[in-house]
Chains A and B, each alone.
Chain A
Amino acid sequence: MTSSLATPRGGHPQQLNPGDVSVARGLLGRENLLEMLDRAVTKRITVISAPPGSGKTSLLRAWADRETHLRRIAFISVLREQQHAPRFWGCVLDAMRNPLGSNRPDGQPAATVALDDDTVFDRVLSQVAGQIEPSVLIIDDLHELKSADALAQLEQLLAILPSPARVVLSSRRDPPIRLHQLRLADEFAEIRAGDLRFSERETRALLAASEISLSEAGVGALYERTEGWAAGLRLAVISLSGHPDAERFVAEFSGTDRAIGEYLMAEMLERQPVEVQSMLLRTSLVDRMNGELADLLAGRAGSEQMLLELEEANAFVVSLDPQRTWFRYHQLLVDFLRLELRRTSADEVPALHRRAARWFAERGDVLEAVRHTLAAGDWPDAARLVADHSFRWVLDGQAGTIRAVLEAFPEGASADHPDLALAHAAAELNEGRLEEAAAQLALAESHLPSAPPARRRRLAVAIASLRLGLARRSGQFSDVIEQVNLLDASIADESSEPIAMGSELRGIALLNLGIVETWSGRLADAERHLSEGAALAQTIGRPYLEVACRAHQGFPSKLVSVATARERGRQAVALAERHGLDDRPILAPALGAVGGMAIWMGEFDEGERWLRRAWEVASTHADPAAAVLLHVATGMLHAGRGQYQSALGEYAAAAQAQGLLTGVHALAPRITGWLATMQARVGMLDDARATLDGFSTHTGRMGAIYNARAVICMADGDAAAALEVLREALDVTPTAGPAFTLVETHLLAGMSHLQLGDRDAAAAEAEAALGSAEPDRLIFPFAMTEAAELLDALPRHATAHRALLAEIVDLLRGASAPDAERERLSQPEELSRSELRVLRYLPTNLTRPEIAQELYVSINTVNTHIRNIYSKLGARDRSSAVQRARELRLLSTGRS
């Protein structure tokens, strides 16, 4: 029998969703308490603090039920022994997104909330801060929250509550959070045990409602003995219902000096039919159960019916869902039953745990399966369960679950189990603790020689895979070439030698391989592995893995055009959005790549939007190699808009991030080249030269470096030398693949020719640049090199790329005006007399050499003057300089 409530991850419901449950079933509706709670909740924070069995949960549920059409109610019960802060906040977030009374179709749980990281709490914070409608967050069983982090975060949350929001905390003890401030500000209300106690009148009403007739004396005695303790009264009522001699029961009860809780529970249990007793005892092992599990543990059918009847009788059994398929017992009862089970049938207990473990494992609830396996004392089995599933959790983006599961093991257990060490390594890696991860991997490796041959290969592959993951996170690429080769070989081997690697492990191996290869520039290999990984991910239904693979395929290469790369990046993001994974750091490369491609194509605003998203997603968790990409792309954005200082800053940051990596990042030459170029552009020529000198030569892809050298030459005024360098550049630049550096090379050559007065050669280079740029629409280089003047030299009719040319010119014109505004000084500096003389020639169509001739000065002088003019007027090219000059009335004749 399957549950009609689809529970998350095949497990049991994480939280209560009371609905129509308890109140209807004859539990006394204690109106005065409901009103008390109403009054309490006018204050920001209400704390209900009372021992077990005082009636806190019943009150809260009844109240929530009533309140739900007035306010949004998010209700969570903290799971037993909740040590894992992200998990707790995940439940809170889920409850906030699915308030009481909201209908989930088919009882489906909400979209997967990542248990992965601390961002869960941030999301809760923003959800809370953004509350505009009245809402109440109820946290029941707060004492079960054993995470100091979570408690500190809760304090934080309480401090920022907006005015329409309210919080109710319910606990057995006064919660360990600082409420002093709130008390002082009168923002705080308390309900304590004394408030919850039944009065004698209420006792009478309870008995009446349960149709129990008792004498006045009897009622009095009952009330006195229980002292109004809710659980005591309820237990007594259960025993009294249908009791042949109610008065005698009460007499004995008030006469006994037994601790009443235990006495009454024992009574209640004893009064149940034998099958029910047996079921109660045997199912007490698990925290929550449905009919199927209960049957399995009790060893007989019919448990669901028993549970339903017990619930009707208020016998401390509650259903957890509106369909009433999942149940749990009141905490008092569970603890009592567990003790009783151990006392009377201790030898059965391990077997029961094993049965439960197997059931949970089959339903995919590995956390519970592990807990019960451990409880049965089967350590190696538990360790293997963890190891087998660790990779699955990583692939689901649920690596935080590993930590939760490992906490069930005692410390130091991983010393004996390589599988556990692996799981620890995966957990540490996920939490960014790289040294610890490395240590655990070493530990796992030390077990390799002694591992049974059947598992040794698999263990080796798992270790290699995690090492690559570590390399990815730390940027230590050069260390992992061995691992790469091993994995590559193992994966290829799969077909010939069955290693039984398991699809998940294979998937992770492919992913990590692909990522390392991407950043190392081995794009053909990366393409192969990532594609395979993505395909595999689809087959085994692992969206996170598929997103991760595709997120790294958005880069252009010999095989992948810029347009294709951009489309791939977009698809990766769309895929992530579809699965609710679009806020994960793993998506950063895709967002950055799409943004970068947009910028290459001159779509700066579009690019900026993508980059902003990329930065948000990356925050502190992105791989260092991805961070390099984002800095470069952001630098490009600034450079394209003429914000050279900012661009310089970003390229420098990229270089710095680059420095943290071992092994060469694929973008290294370009970063160095552009950094030097920016330095030259803002006049830091020595720094620029030093930057280039600091770059150790590699074969291939040096085009960017040559370009930078040429820029330095031109800044020195030596256009001829620049041309020499650029000629060399052409020799080494590959002809296949996107023409990133080639376009720039042609542009720089053109500008050099222009400086030397050779308009025809300049035009030819401009045409060549357009030709190289056209296939992929590489507009960015034109913006970056301020090619407006160069393009002016190219007659409109002489180009085969009219449309592209027109677009670029528009962009440059459009881009220059506002940027010139930004970079302009508030007061234009005075132009010197010589500069004014040169300025007057600018509106003409005389070339620079011609101007030099007119003025009887050298071309270098003219260049210098023009540079200064541009700088002082905040202009980027001749036409804007002229415009500005006109505005400032600098061109009127009469001055000399």
Chain B
Amino acid sequence: MATPPGLYAIRIKGRLGATALSAFPAMVCELEDSETVLTGWIEDRSALFGVLEQIEALGLELIELRQIPARPTSRESDEGRPPRSL
């Protein structure tokens, strides 16, 4: 069935510079040693493959794609809800 909308974490080899990052405006970036993790809300399957295509086009190396399970919304936690502004 269709990729459910949700939070995804995409791990890419190498740290991305400002230019490459600007290709993923809807994602938040975390730089970890020699990898970049892009986290963001992805609407559906088309959106997901759009992101993947962008990664391919920039000659980047995809290491991992992971869906982050939505935690039950609680007062303390903001996770599981789409990021507000990007």
Residue pair A258, B59 in contact (C-beta under 8 Å): no
Segment touching B, from A15-23, A337-345, A364-372, A813-821: A337-345
**Interface-lining segment among B1-9, B13-21, B39-47, B65-73:** B13-21
Q: Could you tell me if B16 and A259 are in contact, using CB atoms closer than 8 angstroms?
A: yes
Per-position 1/0 for B22-39, Cβ under 8 A of A: 110000000001101000
Contact B20 A262 (CB under 8 A): yes
Residue of B nearest to A342 (CB): B22
Other-chain contact of A339, B13, B19, B34, B36 (Cβ < 8 Å): B19
Given the complex of chains A and B, what is the CA–CA distance between A777 and B41 in angstroms?
81
**CB pair A52 B59 closer than 8 Å:** yes
- State how many angstroms separate the Cβ of B22 from the closest Cβ of chain A: 5
- Mostly, the B contact residues are loop
User: What is the bound-complex CA distance between A393 and B74, given in angstroms?
Assistant: 60
Give the nearest-CB partner of A269 in chain B. Answer: B19
Instruction: Confirm or deny: B61 has a beta carbon within 8 angstroms of a beta carbon on chain A.
Output: yes
B10 to chain A, nearest CB (A): 13
Distance to closest chain B CB from A573 (angstroms): 49
Instruction: Let me know if A439 is at the binding interface, CB within 8 A.
Output: no
Asked if B57 is at the interface of the complex by the 8 Å CB criterion, the answer is: yes
Q: Which of A52, A53, A258, A332 is within 8 Å of B17, CB to CB?
A: A258
State whether A259 touches B20 (Cβ < 8 A): yes
Query: A263 at the A/B interface (Cβ < 8 Å)?
Result: yes
B16 touches A262 (CB 8 A): yes
B58 within 8 Å of A by Cβ? Answer: yes
CA distance A257 to B32 in the complex (A): 10
Residue B56 lies at the interface, judged by CB distance under 8 Å to chain A = yes
Find chain A residues with CB under 8 A from B15 CB. Answer: 257-259
**Interface: A124 (CB within 8 A):** no
- Give the CA-CA distance A263 to B34 in the complex, in Å: 13
> Looking at chain B, what size class is its interface with the partner chain?
20 to 34
> Distance (Å) between the CB of B20 and the closest chain A CB?
4
Contacts A257-B34, A259-B13, A259-B14 given; indicate if A51 touches B56 (C-beta within 8 A): yes
| Chain A residues near B58 (CB-CB < 8 A) | 259, 261-262, 332, 335-336
B48 contacts the other chain (CB 8 A): no
Counting CB contacts under 8 A, is A172 at the interface? yes
Question: Once the chains bind, are A331 and B20 in contact (CB under 8 Å)?
Answer: no
Contact A339 B22 (CB under 8 A): yes
Beta-carbon nearest neighbor of B13 in chain A: A259
Asked whether B56 lies within 8 Å of A52 as measured between CB atoms, the reply is yes
A260 at the interface (CB under 8 A from B): yes
Q: B59 to A231, Cβ gap below 8 A? A: yes
* CB proximity to B under 8 Å, residues A31-55: 51-53
A296 at the interface (CB under 8 A from B): no
Cβ–Cβ contact A259 & B60, under 8 A: yes
B57 in contact with A343 (CB, 8 Å) = no
Interface residues on A, range: 20 to 34
Are B18 and A343 closer than 8 Å at their CB atoms? yes
Partner pick for A172 among B13, B19, B56, CB 8 A cutoff: B56
The interface centre, meaning the residue of B20, B56, B57, B59 with most chain A CB atoms within 10 A of its CB, is: B59
A266 at the interface (CB under 8 A from B): yes
**Contact indicator A340/B19 (Cβ below 8 Å):** yes
| A259-B57 in contact (CB<8A) | no
Given contacts A259-B12, A259-B60, contact A343 B17 (CB under 8 A): no
Tell me the minimal C-beta distance from B47 to chain A in angstroms.
16
Task: List, in ascending order, chain A residues with CB within 8 A of B34's CB.
Answer: 257
Cα–Cα, bound, A342→B22 (Å):
9
Q: State A260–B14 Cα separation when bound (angstroms).
A: 7
Give the distance in Å from the alpha carbon of A257 to the alpha carbon of B14 in the complex.
5
Nearest A residue to B35, CB-CB: A257
Taken residue by residue from 257 to 292, chain A's Cβ proximity to chain B (1 for < 8 Å, 0 otherwise) reads as 111111100100000000000000000000000000
Are A258 and B56 touching (Cβ within 8 A)?
A: no
Contacts of A261 in B (CB 8 A): 58-60
Contact check, B33 vs A257: say whether CB atoms are below 8 A apart. Answer: yes
Closest approach, in angstroms, between the C-beta of B57 and any C-beta of chain A?
5
Complex Cα distance, B18 from A659, in Å, reads 68
For residue A171, give the distance in angstroms from its CB to the closest CB of chain B: 11
> Shortest beta-carbon distance, A315 to chain B, in Å?
16
The interface residues of chain A lying within 8 Å CB-to-CB of B20 are: 259, 262, 336, 339
Which residue of B is nearest A52, CB measured?
Answer: B59
A binding-site residues for B, Cβ under 8 Å: 51-53, 172-173, 229, 231, 257-263, 266, 331-332, 335-336, 339-340, 342-343
- Shortest 9 CB-CB distances between A and B: which pairs? A259-B14, A257-B34, A261-B59, A262-B20, A343-B22, A340-B19, A335-B57, A339-B19, A53-B59
Please give 19 more A-B residue pairs, beta carbons under 8 A apart, in addition to A259-B13, A343-B19. A51-B59, A52-B57, A52-B59, A173-B56, A229-B59, A259-B14, A259-B15, A259-B58, A260-B14, A262-B16, A262-B17, A331-B57, A332-B57, A332-B59, A336-B19, A339-B19, A339-B20, A339-B22, A343-B18
**Can you identify 9 A-B contacts, CB atoms within 8 angstroms?**
A52-B57, A257-B14, A258-B16, A262-B16, A262-B19, A262-B58, A332-B58, A339-B22, A343-B19
Chain B residues with CB under 8 Å of chain A are: 12-20, 22-23, 33-34, 36, 56-61
